Amino acid sequence: MTERMSQSQPERDYIPGLGKHFLQPLYDVAHSVFGLHPIHLKMIALAELRDGQQVLDVGCGTGNLLRSIGKQSRKAELVGLDPDPNALSRASRKARRAGLAMRLDRGFAQELPYPDGSFDRVFSSLMLHHLDSPSKDALLAEVRRVLRPDGLLVLADMVLDEHGHGHRPGARDRMRDNVGDAVSQRIAAAGFAVEPTRTMALRIGGKVGIELARPSGPAQE
Ligand SMILES: C[S@@+](CC[C@H](N)C(=O)[O-])C[C@H]1O[C@@H](n2cnc3c(N)ncnc32)[C@H](O)[C@@H]1O
């Protein structure tokens, strides 16, 4: 695992996987209880990965999506980024056990520590609702910057009904932006052509929208 927090990158607050740091050891249990694996498999199928592609997972947490990608595409070059060192340690152990090589960086979605145009595929799964609205825009601008012109963003996040039923108040507030077409409109505003949202149900806890987006036109400043 690499620790790459650049000098210019400020330490920021962040919301860990289950909302509280002490719950982190339970993340993978929650992952299977909520039924996230089928969502990850759908994201991978939509991404149409090819050998040798450079793949980034922003907010990779304990590395479940990267592990599934690596098992299907042994020749993809895998990079995961997350601010949570405990999640990254777990991701690193799981990758080793699975015999997968991946680079894991500690960092923040708002300032990706990668050169322009360095990835063919950028994934992000259930991370967007951990960010406030300006940070969501910063993330999308960064994804646009690090994606190759023919690259693809595959992003999944909770879909909120207008009343936010089934979500805790804090999470509900951060998901206010996730009603209707708001996520795809936000992605489009960052300089992407966005396909219609695919929606899937979790086993528990509501629905997830999957967005597929390709760079289109000049990047927004
Ligand atoms: C609900 S978990 C999802 C983890 C993983 N993507 C998955 O699908 O299992 C949200 C993750 O976003 C990470 N996160 C929170 N703020 C972040 C930020 N500013 N930049 C990148 N990741 C962040 C958390 O540490 C956590 O690992």
pLDDT tens per residue across span 120-132: 999 999 999 899 9
Which residues of the chain are under the pLDDT cut of 70? 1-10, 161-180, 218-221
Among protein residues, the one whose CA lies closest to atom 1 of ligand 1: 17
**Number of Cβ within a 10 Å radius of residue 161:** 14
| CB 174 less than 6 A from any atom of ligand 1 | no
First to last CA, the chain: 32
Give the tens place of pLDDT for each residue, 105-155: 999 999 999 999 999 999 999 999 899 999 999 999 999 999 999 999 999
Q: For residue 108, report the distance from its CA to the centre of ligand 1, in Å.
A: 9
Asked whether 125 lines ligand 1 (CB < 6 A), one says: yes
So what's the pLDDT on residue 7? 43
Please report the pLDDT score of residue 174 as a whole number: 64
Of the CA atoms within 13 Å of residue 15, those in its CB half-sphere come to: 13
DSSP conformational letter for 2: B
* Cβ pair 9, 142 in contact under 8 A: no
Please report the domains of the chain, with CATH numbers, ordered by start residue. Answer: 24-215 (3.40.50.150)
31 lines ligand 1 (CB under 6 A): yes
pTM: 0.90
How, if at all, do strands 102-106 and 147-159 pair? unpaired
Per-residue model confidence (pLDDT) at position 81: 98
User: Does ligand 1 come within 6 angstroms of the Cβ of 138?
Assistant: no
C-alpha distances in angstroms, 147 versus 52, 69, 191, 211? 15, 18, 11, 15
pLDDT of residue 160: 74
State the Cα–Cα distance between residues 129 and 43, nearest whole angstrom: 18
pLDDT of residue 97: 95
